[in-house]
Structure 1
Amino acid sequence: MMGSFFSINRGKQALLIIGASAGLVACGPAVNNSPGVATTVQDPSRQGAVSGIGIEGQDIQAMTDQMVRDMLSNPMLANAANPPQVIIDSGFFVNDSTQRMNKDLITNRLRVNLNRASLGRMVFVGRNYANMVEQERNLKRDGVVDTGTQGTTAAQAGGDYRLGGTIASADSRDAATGLMQRYTQITFEMVDLERGVIVWSGMYELSKAAADDIVYR
């Protein structure tokens, strides 16, 4: 009798455990076991698998390559007797378009490729590194470190010219078909930092249409 009683209790305990486990599974989040999309390597100079009506990787490459060629053909920038000191960053590059984007993607690529292609015909001032340079200059002048191999200067390098520009866009949508179209205009200008005159201007335009636009981040 006692053996039968313990066997019955053990059976009830097993059923309770199974029932509790089933309840936890039912209350837990649903698991989606459907297969995903495998990663593919995209050519950044071509339209990718996910594309819309905004500025994308291939557009950034095309516009910066065009601007580099155009700036190197300007005698004031590339053929001056003394290589001008230029600042190319996104500080005065304004995004007035309807697209959210990181402006540094454009200005960084422009600066890097122009620096490589100019071969010393321009000197690039890293204004974004001013705090880092100032810290090192203070260490040198306090005698904490030596002056290095280049010696010292009275002040950090000033800029002769600095990049400015605007990203602007005009959107339209066909209510009947859902088709969306965006015209985007990107202007680039090099401004004389003493006189305020514009010594070079460049423009890049694109127009795209799609039935289903994507979200840009």
Structure 2
Amino acid sequence: MGTTKALFAGMAAASLLLVGCAGQIDNTRGKATVYEDASTTGRVGGVGIESQDIVAITDQMMRDMLANRMLAGRDIPPRIIIDNEYMRNESSSVVNTNMLTDRLRIELNRASNGRMIFVGREYAGMVQQERDLKRDGAVDGGTIRSTVAQAGADYRLAGRITSLDASDRSDGTQSRYSQISFEMVDMELGTIVWSGLYEMRKAGRDDVVYR
């Protein structure tokens, strides 16, 4: 009997100990996600091309294009292709060039208000599939037009990203000069009707990984 009482007492003590330990477990959730303004420097930053740079670059290029009469001042709006097909990244920065060309095209399309017509060449396969269905009689011809060919372009955007890096081994400081160039090419003559250049230099000690 004494042995049984001692066993129950030990089990009760162990239970109390477990409860006490459980009460001390830190179940606090992690900090909530913080939204940051994409046009400003965030809390994580390095010497590469970041969100605030993409916003600043595309805003400047958009204003320059809208001020160019060959692009935005014609009686008949020119057809323009803006995608990353001819946008090359030769820099040491990890950059998805679609972020540059997509934002530039969308903001220009909104701001030009019909002064430029944008050709979605990357969607040519989708368009051709629908055109084939129409011509085979599988679907009707739509409601607003009847065409014989997909839209050709008057101008197409090309560009290049380059960089020059330097580092100070004594204190780990890194510096990067980045140059982003844009050119609008006449798709019949091969002439350049507009050029834009954006450049910047950043320095820092933080080792930031870009993906």
TM-score, length of structure 1 as denominator length:
0.83
Q: 1:64 aligns with which of 53, 58, 65?
A: 58
Q: 2:138 aligns with which of 138, 144, 167?
A: 144
| CA distance in 1 between partners of 2:44 and 2:28 (Å) | 21
Distance change >3 Å, CA 210–CA 34, structure 1 → 2: farther
The answer to whether the Cα contact below 8 Å between 2:65 and 2:194 also exists between their aligned partners in 1 is yes
Pairwise CA RMSD of aligned residues?
2.1
What SS does structure 2 have at the residue aligned with 1:182?
strand
- 1:212 Cα deviation (Å)? 1.8
Question: 2:198 aligned with 1:204, yes or no?
Answer: yes
The residue that corresponds to 1:119 in the other structure is 113
The residue that corresponds to 1:85 in the other structure is 79
Question: 2:173 aligned with 1:163, yes or no?
Answer: no
- 1:150 Cα deviation (Å)? 2.0
- 1:151 Cα deviation (Å)? 2.5
Question: 2:70 aligned with 1:76, yes or no?
Answer: yes
Structure 1: state its 5+ residue gaps. Answer: 1-6, 12-31
The answer to whether the Cα contact below 8 Å between 1:53 and 1:213 also exists between their aligned partners in 2 is no
| CA distance in 2 between partners of 1:33 and 1:216 (Å) | 32
Q: Deviations over 1:38-70 (max 9, x none)?
A: 311111111011110011101111110110000
- 1:35 Cα deviation (Å)? 6.5
User: How many percent identity over aligned positions?
Assistant: 57
The residue that corresponds to 1:98 in the other structure is 92
The answer to whether the Cα contact below 8 Å between 2:83 and 2:157 also exists between their aligned partners in 1 is yes
What SS does structure 2 have at the residue aligned with 1:100?
coil
| CA distance in 1 between partners of 2:50 and 2:118 (Å) | 26
| CA distance in 2 between partners of 1:201 and 1:109 (Å) | 18
| CA distance in 1 between partners of 2:170 and 2:29 (Å) | 35
The answer to whether the Cα contact below 8 Å between 2:48 and 2:94 also exists between their aligned partners in 1 is no
TM-score, length of structure 2 as denominator length:
0.86
Distance change >3 Å, CA 100–CA 34, structure 1 → 2: farther
The answer to whether the Cα contact below 8 Å between 1:96 and 1:166 also exists between their aligned partners in 2 is yes
Give the partner amino acid of 2:105.
R
Q: 1:41 aligns with which of 15, 18, 35?
A: 35
Question: 2:182 aligned with 1:188, yes or no?
Answer: yes
> Which range is displaced more, 146-155 or 41-50?
146-155
| CA distance in 2 between partners of 1:93 and 1:105 (Å) | 11
Structure 2: state its 5+ residue gaps. Answer: 8-25
| CA distance in 1 between partners of 2:136 and 2:33 (Å) | 53
Distance change >3 Å, CA 33–CA 209, structure 1 → 2: farther
Give the partner amino acid of 2:39.
S
| CA distance in 2 between partners of 1:182 and 1:213 (Å) | 13
The answer to whether the Cα contact below 8 Å between 2:81 and 2:119 also exists between their aligned partners in 1 is yes
